[in-house]
Structure 1
Amino acid sequence: MDSTTHKFYHVHGMDSRGYLDMYFSNKEDMVFAEDTLKFPMLMIHYQLCTGRAEGTFLIDISLGSIIHHLYFVYKFFKKIVLLRFQEKCIMELNRWLHDRTGAYDWSHTSSVAAELEGMRDQIQETEMCLRSSIKQILKCDFEQEKVTFPVLLPLADCIISACILTMISKNEDEYMKNLEKTIKLLKPGGQLLLISLVDATYWVAGAERFHCFKCNEEFVKNAFGKVGLVIDYYSVQRKRNVSDLTDYKAVLFIVGRKGE
């Protein structure tokens, strides 16, 4: 399929449940566990437990309706707000948040989180505590000057952004614009924890193929510098398995601190 025919997640929407099943499930044929599940969880756990990120208010701007990367956040941030681009993903998240029938089963990741914390006998408590810390799930639109309008949020102490900037950006200029929109939500001195695919051009959700802006590690590091983010930490995990669902080469975790 020609890249010009790829859909854009934030414009066309996607099969939110199909996306979770393909990239975040515990199914035997789900080959991305090391990259999409364990690596982000390990990196965020490390940042928080070593005191590298702190505060009271955290914003998460991520792709789809994922929550597993947030398991450790409730211990360090009292208030969490999730920003998403699609109503279907917000509905999916609300089913999980309110523990409704048909909610996606994240128990395979909550058990990983509990083990990392040395709390194997408190798996259900891990999800309950995260639920209680999530105060709002809001729709955002990066085409607007105020991305959460009409809701106005206070500036965040920390922002986590997982696999979204490359999905909503057509080119370098749009990437920079979207990165700037993201850090406008961040306090001076606050941190952006970014999880990004490296050298990806597409990804599949359900039966549809979606656009991904191709960028490498150096591009992301340079982009951080251009918007005034000082890099505190970064790590790269090379792709562990081959799949035609997406063509990324690695997963990047990078932390930038906004200037005072």
Structure 2
Amino acid sequence: MDPSSYKLYHEHGFDSRQQLESYFSDQQEIVFGEDVLKFPIENLAKTFTMGHIKGDVLVDLSLGPLVHHLYAACEFFKHIIVLKVSDRCIMELKRWLDTRTGAFDWEHAAKLHVDLIGNSDQLQDREGKVRSAAQHVMKCDLEKENMTDPIVLPPADCIISVWFLEAICKDQDDYRRYLRKFSEMLKPGGHLILIGALDVTYFTVGKDKLHAFPYDEDFARKSLVGEGFVIDFCKVKARTAVSDLSDYKSVIFIAAHKSLCVESKRSNSTLSIIINK
């Protein structure tokens, strides 16, 4: 297939449930557990338990209706604001948040997290904390200067973005532009956690083949520094999954913080989210 004919996630969307079943299920035939579940959960647990990334507001900008990356974060933030580009993703995520019949079962990911932190008794409590914290699930428009216009979000203490930038960026300029947007959403000194796939050109969801922007660790590091971030931790893991659903070569985890000298631009919108502290 000609790469130019690949669909774009934020323009064409995909089957959200199919994405979860293909990449994040606990079924034996799913081969991505080591790369897309265990690697992020291990590094998120390690990063958050250090105790320096915490606060009132965490903003989540991730690919599809994902939940597993929030198990570690919910302990350290009062409010989680989840931004999605499609109604379909929002519906799938809210099905889980509202414990509706037919929601995707994330218990295997929650169990992996609580096993890592050494307290298996916290399984149900952990899922409850995510549901309690993630009270704001909103649709966003990536092309607007303020992605949530007409609503203005409070400056975030942390942004988490999982498998997202490679799915929405067409080239290097796009990647840097979205890092700039992230920076503008953060408080000075706020933290950014990126989890991504390196050297990837496509990923498949159902019958749809979607575009992915290929980049390497060096480019990610230089782009973050160029946009005023200080990298605190970076780890790359070579691919272990054997599947033609995607051609990524490795996965990357980066934790960084926004330099105190970088100023944020806030939109003068008419509405704002009020966070009760």
Whether the TM-score (by the shorter chain) exceeds 0.5 is: yes
Pair 1:170 & 2:170 matched: yes
Letter in 2 for 1:232: D
Distance 1:244 1:12 in 2: 21
How far did residue 51 of structure 1 move? 1.8
Distance 1:72 1:175 in 2: 26
Moved over 2 A (4+): none
How far did residue 73 of structure 1 move? 1.2
Letter in 1 for 2:18: G
Corresponding residue of 1:42: 42
1:134-173, Cα deviation, whole Å (9 max, x unpaired): 1200111110011011211111001100011111111111
Corresponding residue of 2:101: 101
Bigger Cα displacement from structure 2, 109-118 vs 153-162:
109-118
Corresponding residue of 2:32: 32
Corresponding residue of 1:57: 57
Could you tell me whether the CA contact under 8 Å between 1:200 and 1:249 is conserved in 2? yes
Distance 1:219 1:119 in 2: 38
Corresponding residue of 2:90: 90
Letter in 1 for 2:9: Y
Distance 1:18 1:161 in 2: 20
Distance 1:40 1:58 in 2: 17
Instruction: Give the alignment's TM-score, normalised by structure 1.
Output: 0.98
Corresponding residue of 1:207: 207
Distance 2:173 2:212 in 1: 14
Write the mapping of 1:132-211 to structure 2, written as runs, cut at 5 A: 132-211=132-211
- Aligned pair count reads 260
1:159-200, Cα deviation, whole Å (9 max, x unpaired): 100011111111111111111112211111011000011000
Distance 2:152 2:223 in 1: 26
Partner SS, residue 137 of structure 1:
strand
**Identical pairs, percent:** 44
Where does structure 2 lack aligned partners over 5 or more consecutive residues?
A: 261-277
1:194-247, Cα deviation, whole Å (9 max, x unpaired): 001100000001110000001000000010011000111100111012210000
How far did residue 121 of structure 1 move? 2.5
Corresponding residue of 1:19: 19
Distance 2:156 2:122 in 1: 29
Where does structure 1 lack aligned partners over 5 or more consecutive residues?
A: none
Corresponding residue of 1:129: 129
Letter in 2 for 1:156: A
Partner SS, residue 234 of structure 1:
strand
Letter in 2 for 1:111: K
How far did residue 117 of structure 1 move? 2.5
Instruction: Give the alignment's TM-score, normalised by structure 2.
Output: 0.92
Partner SS, residue 68 of structure 1:
coil
Bigger Cα displacement from structure 2, 192-201 vs 171-180:
171-180
